[in-house]
Amino acid sequence: MFCTACGTALPEGTRFCARCGAAVAEIPNAPLAPVKDPPRYAGFWRRAAASVVDGFVLWMPTMVSFMGILFYSGTLLHHGPPRPQDFRATLVAYGAIWVIQWLYFAGMHSSRWQATLGKQALGIKVTTMSGERISFLRASGRFLGNLVEVFTFGIGLIMAAFTRRRQALHDMVARTIVTNITTTPADVRRGLASPPVSKALMAVVLVVPTFFILGTLAAIAVPAYSDYKVRSQVTAELGRVAEYKARVEARVRSGELLGGLDNEGIDLPEKIDGRFVSSIEVQDGMVRVWFGEKDTTHPSLQGQVLTYTPAFHKDGGFRWLCGYAPPPPDFTVIDREYCEYTTILRRFLPGECR
């Protein structure tokens, strides 16, 4: 213990200081009073943690509603092709999830607690700009404001870390603020402190959008480049088909029927030694290009076929239809099911074959 007058160290139980003679006051060993959470706007991390808690709270009722509607409609038990009632039931199920979330957030934010269960657990609440309790209508508008943030790729939510009142975009739409739970309207009128922006949040703000943008570009570029490679292999061999089509057309114009017209009839071989194509087959006047099982051929093309189908105009015109291409007006194809003879996916074909 120490003398409260001169600061001299004294043994326990001493009543008077040996140096200055002052009486030694006994200081009771009482616990420190808790420090009240000062009035301030809610920080980003507290709001994020509250959202996680609310997600767990809503998971069970939303999943029960979603699965219950699909089960009641028979969609979960149906294993065949999709039916119109399956589509309607799915829309109703997603609508039920949206209604549950709307009633939860709007109802809790406009209640006397002014907070969802997640916000209550983190000690924060939603108020008007003057610190008052918000109405159900304003709470509904705040919930709908979340839909706007979908189009900002999360930037509207991150705004809560940097704006002066720590408002996210949906707060600005509904003119609301989020404060700690002990804040009163008088505190809001006097002015609230803004929590400091942490370095971790700065890192998240810088890194996450960067990875998101790079990931989005990669998700677009990688499949596009792969499709481009496959498409280039298809177009690289189409020049070989020109002679086959020309001879078929010549035979037709000379009066021969398409039925039974094959490679022998046009005097051109079926098997070829192409880089990607293994054979060009003429069958009943249709020209079918088969891509071989070669190492140079892309796996998406190996064993696949592209078919050229003749189409005739009522005035005697002749035209070839490539792959899935629809016939021009007043043209008739020799086989209405001609699209089924092409097995290459549409996205791998040039525009004139789709």
Strand partners, 327: none
Give the pLDDT of residue 85: 77
Q: Output the average pLDDT for the chain.
A: 82
Q: With a threshold of 0.75, does the pTM exceed it?
A: no
Give the pLDDT of residue 208: 63
Give the pLDDT of residue 202: 63
Residue 242 has pLDDT above 70, yes or no: yes
Give the torsion sign (CA, 300, 301, 302, 304). Answer: positive
Over residues 19-38, the pLDDT tens digits come to 776 666 665 555 545 555 67
Q: Which residues contact 286 (CB under 8 A, 6 or more apart)?
A: 307, 308, 309, 310, 334, 335, 338, 341
- Least Cα distance to 48 among 151, 148, 198, 233 occurs for 198
Question: For residues 127 and 114, is the Cβ–Cβ distance under 8 A?
Answer: yes
Read off the tokens for 340.
Answer: 């089924």
Helix axis angle, 44-73 to 84-109, nearest 10°? 140
Mean pLDDT of all residues in 8-29: 67
Integer Cα distance of 54 and 118 in angstroms: 5
Integer Cα distance of 162 and 178 in angstroms: 14
Read off the tokens for 130.
Answer: 């003057």
Residue 236 has pLDDT above 60, yes or no: yes
Residue 165 has pLDDT above 80, yes or no: yes
Mean pLDDT of all residues in 85-113: 87
Say which residue, 65 or 32, is predicted with more confidence.
65
Give the pLDDT of residue 78: 63
How does DSSP classify residue 11? -
Integer Cα distance of 113 and 124 in angstroms: 10
Radius of gyration from C-alpha coordinates of the chain: 38
